[in-house]
Amino acid sequence: MNRFVAAVVAALLAGGSAQAQVTEEMLANDQASTGDVLTNGMGRDLQRYSPLDILNRDNVKNLVPVWAFSLGGEKQRGQETQPLIYDGMMYITGSYSRLYAIDLATGNEVWQYDARLPEGILPCCDVINRGAAIYGDKIYFGTLDARMVALNLKTGDVVWNRKIDDYKAGYSYTAAPLIVDGKVIHGVSGGEFGIVGRVDALDAETGERIWSRPVIEGHMGELNGQPSTMTGTLNATWPGDMWKTGGGATWLGGSYDIETDTIVFGTGNPAPWNSWLRNAGTPTEGNAGDNLYAASRLGLDPDTGEIKWYFQTTPREGWDYDGVNEVVAYTDRAGNKRWATADRNGFFYVLNREDGAFVSAVPFVRDITWASGIDETGRPIFVEENRPSDPAASADGQKGETIFAVPSFLGGKNWMPMAFSQRTGNFYVPSNEWGMDLWNEAITYKQGAAYLGAGFTIKPLFEDYIGSLKAIDPDTGEIKWEYRNPAPLWGGVMATAGGLVFTGTPEGLFLALDDETGEVLWSFQTGSGIVGQPVTWEQDGEQYVAVVSGWGGAVPLWGGEVANKVNYLNQGGMVWTFKLPKQLASAN
């Protein structure tokens, strides 16, 4: 009896049937396969683009709700997840590390997994979770107490549950994992607690760690249980022992380019925020104080975790401009293979996909103060007077002078993913126009305590809007159109071949816009602010769209004057699923 027949017989004897398996080939083909959504980003290149055009600019007004599913209970908070669609089921994660399986036909819950979180978890920016990953017959997601969990797709039973790191030291996990060649690849959260960022690869079947790559220089990598290579060169860009608690959290998920066989992860702010403790020098002294590889993008070998290339967006970072924002693989209009990323620091970057080399950068938000531009090498041209001052030089040695910086530390764009349209060649970037009062403070590291060394108050720049969805031409840097929103935009974006761009607002509106003009063509009030990530798929010849609604995330917790401005917004927790009925597909 061969192994396949034996597996079928075993399944039948167990009272079940042979279960469908999600393969590496299926993951690689996710964007083109319109009947399912198997990956975060609707493809591992993170374009968030669908080739479906059943639903288009002419008929989107006929889009109607099919069912809604409540996440229930008192555990509302921010719902930032992206649904996955497979084999008649929808899978979503929820706040407080929950995962749901929902019947696509009815909207009924099939099973729910609720992680038993311990007391004392240390999430920095709400108790959110941004999604899961599917491979084989399992679904994988991370938890706020820094664990990675593998569940059976059909039953929700735990297959394995592995500790990533110590939650008491500030580690947590909130992103959707990335699957490449049978490896579950993930980062870590916790940069505000002086942890050390890293990227790990686990065996999808067993959960055993295959490799680990710390992202702060001086730390040793691991391969197959043995030390591999050091990250960077010890003390090349970090003074003394500061690298030991250097931050650089890899708290957002990575992308994968199959053509160059490269994983790309962004790295967060160096710790602490007070940059004078990490570098007292000036930017004219070379890269001695750049604090590699924080606030950077890293290209990694998926088999070994070795760093293939890096690009640092904010050297000597002192404004909490994390470099974690997604890096999207695309091909420009001239046929060049590119990466694009819209950084928290307010600049939109294009890099060469082969080696991460700098191609171009343009500002995508207004009135940037910390840098006057980006030079021909990709390095920022610092405005030195807009660096928060050294508290050690103040009268009491405890607090530096206050500056006003733009953008705020929540970024020109934060975690919320942009979309790239293969139809227009443009990116659709959810951005925010805000600044902050910022000052440095004296600080020492204590495990499990916040390690900032700074104080801040976020302020809106304009009376009439904060959020701005922008259509950006990556070839020229031109902003083709802009949709302005009174409250900050904090949800993901999706583009389709039907000429549509979908996103949501904190006021609860789910929107479809014309990808060429920015005109709002359709809207639906979901009842709570949308900070989730929309998806679309085809089912029985009809096109469906889904998004999770539920206001929360970092803005109401950290937003200062902006948080006060939007404190009327309602929390929630609903999955909304819509479709274009066949009989209305041709109706104008």
Order of strands, edge to edge, in the sheet holding 183-186?
178-180, 183-186, 198-203, 209-214, 220-223, 226-230
Whether 321 contacts 411, CB under 8 Å: yes
Q: How far apart are CA 238 and CA 232, in angstroms?
A: 11
Token match 């790559």: residue? Answer: 213
Assigned token pair, 359: 């191609």
Q: How many CB atoms lie within 10 A of CB 213?
A: 29
User: Which two three-digit tokens encode residue 67?
Assistant: 């069912």
Catalytic residue among 126, 165, 320, 322: 320
322 in active site? no
- 140 backbone dihedrals φ, ψ, rounded to 5°: -120, 140
Q: Which has the closest alpha carbon to 321: 384, 378, 371?
A: 371
Select from 391, 381, 469, 462 the least CA-distant residue to 430.
Answer: 469
Q: Which amino acid is at 505?
A: T
Measured distance CA(505)–CA(289) in Å, rounded: 39
d(CA 287, CA 50): 41
Rounded to whole angstroms, how far apart are CA atoms 121 and 129?
14
Q: Are 456 and 409 in contact (CB under 8 A)?
A: yes
**Sequential DSSP letters for 213-256:** EESSTT-EEEETTEEEEESS-TTSSS-TTGGGG-B----S--EE
Tell me which amino acid residue 212 is. S
**Pick from 388, 389, 434, 427: nearest CA to 411:** 434
Residues 562 and 489: their CA atoms lie apart, in Å, by: 12
Angle, CA of 503, 509 and 510, to the nearest 5°: 40
Cα(378)–Cα(131) distance, integer angstroms? 32
**Residue 479 to residues 186, 436, 509, 518, Cα–Cα distance (Å):** 33, 24, 23, 11
- How far apart CA 71 and CA 54 sit, in angstroms, is 30
| CA–CA–CA angle 387, 393, 394 (5° rounding) | 95
Q: Which two tokens stand for residue 441?
A: 């403070």
What's the CA gap between 265 and 254, in Å, rounded? Answer: 5
Q: Are 174 and 194 in contact (CB under 8 A)?
A: no
Distance of CA 25 to the CA centre of its chain: 24
Distances (CA, A) of 12 to 5, 6, 9, 15: 11, 10, 5, 5
Q: Which residues are catalytic?
A: 320
